[in-house]
Structure 1
Amino acid sequence: MDGIQIPHLPELSKIPPGMLYPHQSDGVAFLLSKKRVVLADDMGLGKTRQAIVAMNVGAPEGAILVVCPASLKLNWRREIRMVDPDAVVEVIGAKDGAPEATPRWVVVNYDLLTKYAARLHDIPWAGVILDEAHFIKNASQRTGHCLKLLGVQKEARAPVIGPQYVFLLTGTPMTNRPRDLFNLLRCVGHPAARSFLSFAKRYCDAYQNDFGWVTTGASNLEELNLLLKEVSIRRKKEEVLDLPPKVRSWVPVDVASSPSAVESSLAFMRWYAATDPANPNDKQFLAKLMKVRTALHKAKHKAVEERIEDVLATGQKVVVFTSFTEGLKRHAKTLGEACVTISGSDTAEQRQATVERFQDDPDVKVAVCNLIAGGVGITLTAGTHVIFQDLDWVPANHAQAEDRCYRLGQKNRVTVEYFYAAGSLDEYISELLSLKMALIGSVEAEVAPEASFLAELEARLRAIAPALMQEAKLAKSDPKDRLAELTTLIPKTHREQEEADNPGMWEFKSSRDPSKSYRVTYGRAGHLECTCEGFLYRGNCKHVQDVRAKT
């Protein structure tokens, strides 16, 4: 919480006592003071409750739109009515979604934005909430609809219009790389998001190859960390809650006795070694990779089965995450009535009923979930043991899934185990996941890591070059190790210490024309702005960078 200024607003007196935890009250105050802001609290800290209360206080009149994943729509209606029992809520696409009266709240999932675009874009929303806002990190039709609903205009330098209150909720603002942050910053009107190319050059270590710009890297992370804090608030569980510990461990599985796993891995490496890096075939690459991952999944199944039995013998409940429907069905068949499942084909109603059975029924001991479908928006705090049978390329997916158990309401220690096939592609993925988590942590951290950490990180990256090459190809970009810029995180020993003469406004003389001067001030949402031409076009400049470094 260091560096986060929590304002004291008279509007907070309208909130009934006991509705919010102390950290949630601080969060509501922050949302109301900024109006357009990213709420990036850890999963399980009550971002939904904070956003609902802040909207009711800040925009008591008018309609509020909530855009969320399909699996969370019913949960949003439940949470809204917990705050305001008389609220009229319409859930678009639900069987009982249309209320008789004019709705105060409208809840829609991302997948239905195109179908209902004409209606949604015609309403002058008083406020808009994007839940799991990292869904709009990439350019897509749904991202385009979200930007329009939030009043983000196509012209990069045009002012943001539309709803006064815009809250972006995500426990993982940077799911993989710094470029994931661009659209979030654009939605809250941060000037650094006026030009993607300028943003990519500054923070993604962008470079050109024969196919165009490659923006998968990371650079100037200390500055990006400071920039993000101007328009976001993020609290970790250990900072604000007295939760029991979470223990994470990696469990190697010997798959040498599985002929299919061994042969599929060898076949993949033989094929990969013979490919021409200058002519990538992404479709074939993904097909070959999927065969390996499927074979490894099957080879690990018995070990995971045995671990589930060990946990059940202690009287605890366990949550298993897998990427493959076949494995989900096999566990369900073996465990019978003691097991419930959550998959991508479940409706919101089915998913909620499954969650309630796992939470409340003492005879239900195991929840086997699809890693993506069961990894967001649900609470499984009855479970104290989490097992990952498969590894995803994106660390945020694992972080989301882990915290289905490790969140408000958890009273016991949570054990998280990642099963990986030793000496195989799985081992590369597990190492890559650890490194990505370290990279994301360095951006979101309050304090920059030490030089020794950065040196170790870089050395380990070089050691797993094959995995980096595979991931780079998977992301349709040429492999290139560009993390040397992480050294910008090393604390500067010779940084200037002088204080600004006038806090809140800084003046700089033009280097070309001494008679000219430029002013850096705070914008309405708390981000820094400059009057120079460079800032006008790029949303960033040396003057703003200097002020960030000083303050």
Structure 2
Amino acid sequence: MPTTAPARQRKKSSSARRDDEAPIIPILARKVREVEAKAQRNKLGPTNRVKFQVIAFLVREERARVKADESVGDQARAELLKRLDGVATILAKTAARDTSLIQLLEVDQATSPVARRMRRDWLLDAGVELAAEELVIDDAKPAAPDTVVPAVASERAVRPVQVDARIESNPFLAPDFARYTPRPNPRRRLDDWELMGPLYKSFAQGAGGGSASMTLPEVPEFDRLSPRGLEVMPHQSRFLEAVRQGHRSFLLADEPGLGKTAQSVLAASVANAYPLLVVVPNVVKMNWAREVERWTPHRRASVISGDGADVDAFADVFIVNYEILDRHLAWLADLGLGGMVVDEAHFIKNLSSQRSQNVLALAQRVRQVPGADPLMLALTGTPLINDVEDFDAIWRFLDWTDGTKPGPELMERLDGTGYTPADKAFYPAARQAVIDMGIVRRRKKDVARDLPDKLVADMPVQLDDEVGRSIAQAEKELQRRLADRYRRILAARGDRGLAPGEIDEDIVDLVATGELEESRAAGTDGDNVFSMVRRIGQGKAVLAADYAAQLQRSVGKVVFFAKHVDVMDRAEEHFRQAGIRAVAIRGEQSQAARQQAIDSFNDDPEVGVIVCSLTAAGVGVNLQAASNVVLAELSWTSAEQTQAIDRVHRIGQDEPVTAWRIIAAHTIDQRIAELIDRKEGLALRALDGERTGDEPAESVQLAALKSLLRDALGA
């Protein structure tokens, strides 16, 4: 709804540099640097994209004003235009780094309410007097689209033969979406504030704020949910009691291994949220069907595969993997879903991906039915991978925000705090307001105290053969290339007032970012950080497999994780030669073959090792027959490493779990291991309220390149 800027004049910051002839320019310069810093860390979320757009058209507006203002002298005009050119140059460089921004440069005016509000606030900060019509911002939303199927997917769309029969068997008329109009939101005190940035900041500063978990009801006196022979644990029972009391949207962020699947299956039963759609990674489709049968044997599950020819349209639970969801969007949207579960919800964090757009479009359709109160569950033990803005897509799925501002319920909670983002007290209060929307986060050490300990132990290995020497030479060449670029840029920029031996961190960031972009474009071709890490993995393959073989002979079953197919191949061959029976989980396997491998490892005493792909088996797989994990290759994120280890360290495990990381000594492998450990601080701070070092939100790859460059410069 319309919002109006406060009538009172905003207080000028004492630290803000003012310019009598163009007071908006210092503001634009400060804002563009903020956007540039985010882009360099590959974390340009929706708030900063809008900021980028507003800067672009304000630069154009100010350039036209300066040129037309006859009261400005020629010398002053030239200086102002030069400063605007500087802002425009940073915009162009940022757009070159993230090409999806280029289209935002083509917009001539602020189109969205958020962009118009941002433009208004910046101009008011600069002391600009605005016309009355510019002070009022209309938040009216465009009409919802008639279909959830994107044009790119319409040709692939399918409709199983039984679907129409199920829809026609429903005695109720289909809802008329055209007649449904949302009620206008009341005018609120915080309508004039940009709130998404402060909400993210409230989690980034989460230290001291306690665990990110809403207050749950006490454990009910009787467990009336578990089928015969099964038992719901107390932490699961409290979550289900919250569902029974009427809460319907959750980010269930329990640590991996605490039974999120079982909780979701039972929550659907408690809420009678049928038909229920479960969107999952391909590797866990069959496991979800088993869990539905196990925990709710009176319900039928249907696994959707390919074109859906075998779909049981009269089932209670439909299970589909992300990769084929686009083919089934249309009929699922017509089915009248009573609930939706997104498993491993961090998979949708990239809002530009078709995967994310499909999930969000279907979620919107599920909520559109008048009077509907669907059960919406986002499940992930690792909602934050690199940055707090990883929350964005999940919050949109749950309808807590729309990406540009909080939804009505969250806005009401924020308004009730009595604070604004100008108050320090706003941030812990805002964090708690979001948590109370439905974040449930429990840690193993708190709710499963009888679960054995988990230890991550590093095993350094020496690559002293020809492969090791070539890797060492490639690393030196990379350092030399980075240092040469740094020195050329430093020489071109001239004296920057650096003390002897001091390093310009801005140039370090620029050089490392440029190298990372080139490396991503080249992939594993040439000598870059990606090809180097892959060669290290190849060099460690047999050494890691040999260590796993020794473990297997002494402690029994072992889980062996690797990133690349050739490393898995070498490991399997080594186990075969060593006389150890091994099975594997790979991305190209069929569902039946994958499940057979899991069952064989867990149930067959003759199977000693399971060789797993970090991407194909890192989520949703139960391998607790083992208590030892060998990580032959390192992941690029702490979350992926944690997910892999927690295939073993989960409810039902009765032995201490040890994860052995095989580290190539005196190589970039060591740096990556250290950086992965440091990245765990984000989740501990944002979700668990622990006080940790405030590490910058940058990728492990970028941090590793910076570390190499600093060493080359003698820092």
Whether TM exceeds 0.5 here: the answer is yes
Question: Displacement, 1:25?
Answer: 0.6
Q: Which residue number corresponds to residue 250 of structure 1? A: 458
Q: Which residue number corresponds to residue 435 of structure 1? A: 678
Specify the SS of the correspondent of 1:34: coil
2:350 equivalent to 1:138: yes
**Aligned letter for 1:392?**
S
Question: Displacement, 1:86?
Answer: 3.5
CA distance in 2, matches of 1:20, 1:465: 39
**Aligned letter for 1:417?**
W
2:302 equivalent to 1:67: no
Q: Which residue number corresponds to residue 235 of structure 2? A: 23
Question: Displacement, 1:312?
Answer: 2.0
| Residue in structure 2 matching 1:127, options 320, 339, 346 | 339
Q: Which residue number corresponds to residue 468 of structure 1? A: 703
Higher helix share: 2
Q: Which residue number corresponds to residue 117 of structure 1? A: 329
2:593 equivalent to 1:350: yes
Q: Which residue number corresponds to residue 203 of structure 1? A: none
Q: Which residue number corresponds to residue 565 of structure 2? A: 325
2:435 equivalent to 1:229: yes
Larger Rg: 2
Matched-pair contact (CA < 8 Å) for 1:298–1:327: yes
Question: Displacement, 1:223?
Answer: 6.5
2:662 equivalent to 1:419: yes
Question: Displacement, 1:133?
Answer: 0.8
Q: Which residue number corresponds to residue 615 of structure 2? A: 372
CA distance in 1, matches of 2:672, 2:456: 16
Deviation readout 1:331-361 (Å, 9 max, x if unpaired): 1112125111111111221111101111111
Q: Which residue number corresponds to residue 408 of structure 1? A: 651
Specify the SS of the correspondent of 1:115: helix
Consecutive unaligned residues in structure 2, runs of 5 or more: 1-209, 407-425, 490-509, 709-715
Deviation readout 1:309-330 (Å, 9 max, x if unpaired): 3312313211111111111111
CA distance in 2, matches of 1:9, 1:309: 45
CA distance in 1, matches of 2:268, 2:548: 43
Specify the SS of the correspondent of 1:416: strand
Q: Which residue number corresponds to residue 305 of structure 2? A: 93
Matched-pair contact (CA < 8 Å) for 1:134–1:174: yes
Structure 2 length-normalised TM: 0.56
Higher strand share: 1
Q: Which is further off, 83-92 or 240-249? A: 83-92
Q: Which is further off, 267-276 or 436-445? A: 267-276
| Residue in structure 2 matching 1:283, options 473, 498, 521 | 521
2:273 equivalent to 1:82: no
Q: How does 1:165-314 map to 2 (within 5 A)?
A: 165-191=375-401, 193-195=403-405, 226-230=432-436, 231-241=438-448, 242-257=450-465, 258-275=468-485, 277=510, 280-281=517-518, 282-284=520-522, 287=525, 288-314=528-554
2:264 equivalent to 1:57: no
Deviation readout 1:35-84 (Å, 9 max, x if unpaired): 01111111111111111111111125x41111111111111111111122
**Aligned letter for 1:239?**
D
**Structure 1 pair 317–466 and aligned structure 2 pair: CA distance change class (3 A):** closer
Question: Displacement, 1:236?
Answer: 0.9
Question: Displacement, 1:263?
Answer: 2.5
CA distance in 2, matches of 1:418, 1:161: 52
**Aligned letter for 1:345?**
E
CA distance in 1, matches of 2:470, 2:665: 15
Q: How many residues are matched?
A: 437
Question: Displacement, 1:99?
Answer: 5.3
Question: Displacement, 1:268?
Answer: 3.0
CA distance in 2, matches of 1:227, 1:192: 16
Consecutive unaligned residues in structure 1, runs of 5 or more: 197-219, 474-551
CA distance in 1, matches of 2:701, 2:584: 35
Specify the SS of the correspondent of 2:326: coil
**Structure 1 pair 11–105 and aligned structure 2 pair: CA distance change class (3 A):** farther
**Aligned letter for 2:260?**
K
Indicate the percent of aligned positions where both proteins have the same amino acid.
Answer: 28
Matched-pair contact (CA < 8 Å) for 2:266–2:296: no
CA distance in 1, matches of 2:379, 2:594: 21
Question: Displacement, 1:229?
Answer: 2.2
Deviation readout 1:208-241 (Å, 9 max, x if unpaired): xxxxxxxxxxxx9867753552221011111111
**Structure 1 pair 221–406 and aligned structure 2 pair: CA distance change class (3 A):** farther
CA distance in 2, matches of 1:160, 1:361: 52
**Structure 1 pair 428–100 and aligned structure 2 pair: CA distance change class (3 A):** closer
Deviation readout 1:455-514 (Å, 9 max, x if unpaired): xx66xx79x9995274899xxxxxxxxxxxxxxxxxxxxxxxxxxxxxxxxxxxxxxxxx
Deviation readout 1:122-172 (Å, 9 max, x if unpaired): 222111111111111111212111112212799xxx999965210111111
* CA RMSD, 1 decimal: 3.4
| Residue in structure 1 matching 2:249, options 9, 14, 36 | 36
Question: Displacement, 1:95?
Answer: 10
Q: Which residue number corresponds to residue 540 of structure 1? A: none
Q: Which residue number corresponds to residue 541 of structure 1? A: none
CA distance in 2, matches of 1:286, 1:313: 35
Deviation readout 1:387-429 (Å, 9 max, x if unpaired): 1111111111111100011011211111111122222221221
**Structure 1 pair 153–361 and aligned structure 2 pair: CA distance change class (3 A):** closer
CA distance in 1, matches of 2:685, 2:370: 30
